[in-house]
């Protein structure tokens, strides 16, 4: 009995596997995974409000799409030509792209609005009446 480990501690031990950090940190620098933006989803009574923190991103670099209930926000930030000719000693800004998405099962395709203000993108998604996904079949 003394060798038994409670289930929650077992799961916690698996999450902190010693090699996770070893392999993740170098790949973050290559793939740009550290550049993923923060996103909040709020459920109001009549819709959803999705906010994303996008400092330094312009409207032209953002793509917002709702496809079958999945709201996707994609960023493709490119470096301008005026910055390419400079001789930087350290440059922590540059080209990167990221996509975040969330599934909103009862999102309506009409009435969507998006606003970029102060580096924060706000997308308002109205809800539609929930459709019944269950169909009753009579047996002969």
Residue 19 lies in a domain: yes
Instruction: Inform me whether the pLDDT recorded for 32 exceeds 50.
Output: no
Residue 139 lies in a domain: no
Residues 47, 58 contacting (CB under 8 angstroms): no
Phi, psi angle pair for 29, to nearest 5°: -70, -35
Place of tokens 């991103």: 57
Residue 140 lies in a domain: no
Residue 65 lies in a domain: yes
CATH of the domain at 66: 2.60.40.790
Q: What kind and span of H or E run contains 64?
A: strand 62-67
Residue 51 lies in a domain: yes
Residue 134 lies in a domain: no
pLDDT per residue as tens digits for the range 69-110: 999 999 998 876 566 677 878 877 677 889 999 999 889 988
């Amino acid at each position: 009995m003394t060798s038994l480990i409670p289930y929650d501690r077992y799961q916690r031990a698996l999450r902190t596997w010693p090699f996770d950090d070893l392999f993740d940190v170098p790949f973050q620098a290559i793939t740009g995974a550290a550049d993923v933006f923060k996103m909040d989803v709020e459920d109001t009574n009549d819709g959803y409000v999705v906010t994303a923190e996008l400092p330094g991103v312009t409207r032209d670099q953002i793509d917002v799409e709702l496809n079958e209930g999945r709201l996707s926000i994609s960023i493709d930030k490119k470096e301008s030509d005026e910055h390419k000719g400079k001789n930087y000693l350290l440059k922590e800004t540059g080209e990167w792209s990221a996509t975040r998405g969330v599934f909103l099962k009862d999102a309506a395709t009409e009435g969507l609005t998006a606003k970029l203000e102060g580096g924060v993108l706000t997308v308002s998604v109205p809800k539609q009446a929930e459709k019944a996904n269950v169909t009753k079949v009579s047996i002969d």
